[in-house]
């Protein structure tokens, strides 16, 4: 029988990540496992102005983005039926795939759950796939979760509206 003690769900708070949190929390409940919710903040990395920001301001920005991520993680944790002591919240800053892999290794994760946007073609080439890198390099099994084809198409054609960005 498979034994899961630590389940990691990496989330960027998109619809596919919400689906991953649902799957991860259901598995954590079924196996009485700990659910680790991880958000990796990487927003300033991709901005052209990031290299020109004074160091102290950049560090402040990273801390603010991580704090906002933590607040959203608390909401996500509240949406599960798990006991508070079963849920571990974590934020990191950097490349999402690298940080997910690092967290999985450092916390003896038995299963990683990742939402996948279902990008293809040019979008996949440019954006890459965090889930794909995690799937290939993780020290544990990885469960990928996607949302319905309708939501996936909407995400691919209108990414800002699909994930609630205004």
In angstroms, rounded to a whole number, what is the distance separating the alpha carbons of residues 160 and 145? 20
Q: What is the pTM of this model?
A: 0.78
How much is the pLDDT for 44?
A: 58
Q: Please name the CATH architecture into which domain 6-162 falls.
A: 3-Layer(aba) Sandwich (3.40)
Task: Specify the pLDDT at position 121.
Answer: 57
What would the pLDDT profile of 14-69 be if each residue is shown by its tens digit? 888 899 999 999 999 999 999 999 999 876 555 555 555 666 777 777 788 888 88
Q: What percent of the chain has pLDDT over 90?
A: 45
Q: What are the sequence ranges of the domains in the chain?
A: 6-162
Half-sphere exposure of 112 (CA within 13 A, CB side): 31
pLDDT, residue 159, reads 41
Element (H, E) at 41: strand 34-41
Rounded Cα–Cα distance for residues 104 and 92 (Å): 12
Residue 9 has φ and ψ, to the nearest 5°, of -120, 115
> Of all helices (H) and strands (E), which one includes residue 58?
helix 55-78
Distance CA 162, CA 22 (A): 18
Average pLDDT across the chain, whole number: 80
Quick one: pLDDT at residue 15? 86
CB of 25 closer than 8 Å to CB of 92: no
- pLDDT score for 128: 57
Give every CB contact of residue 141 below 8 A, 6+ residues apart in sequence: 110, 111, 112
């Amino acid at each position: 029988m498979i034994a899961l003690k630590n389940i990691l769900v990496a989330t960027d708070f998109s619809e596919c990540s919400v689906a991953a949190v649902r799957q991860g929390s259901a598995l954590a409940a079924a196996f009485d496992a700990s659910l680790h919710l991880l958000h990796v903040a990487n927003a300033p990395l991709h901005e052209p102005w990031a290299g020109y920001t004074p160091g102290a301001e950049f560090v402040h920005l990273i801390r603010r983005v991580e704090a906002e991520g933590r607040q959203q993680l608390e909401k996500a944790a509240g949406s599960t039926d798990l006991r508070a002591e079963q849920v571990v919240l974590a934020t990191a800053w950097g490349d999402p795939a690298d940080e997910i892999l690092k967290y999985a290794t450092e916390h003896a994760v038995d299963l990683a759950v990742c939402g996948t946007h279902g990008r293809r073609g040019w979008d996949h080439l440019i954006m890459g796939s965090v889930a794909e890198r995690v799937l290939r390099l993780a020290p544990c099994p990885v469960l990928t979760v996607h949302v319905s084809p309708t939501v996936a198409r909407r995400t691919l054609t209108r990414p800002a509206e699909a994930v609630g960005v205004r």
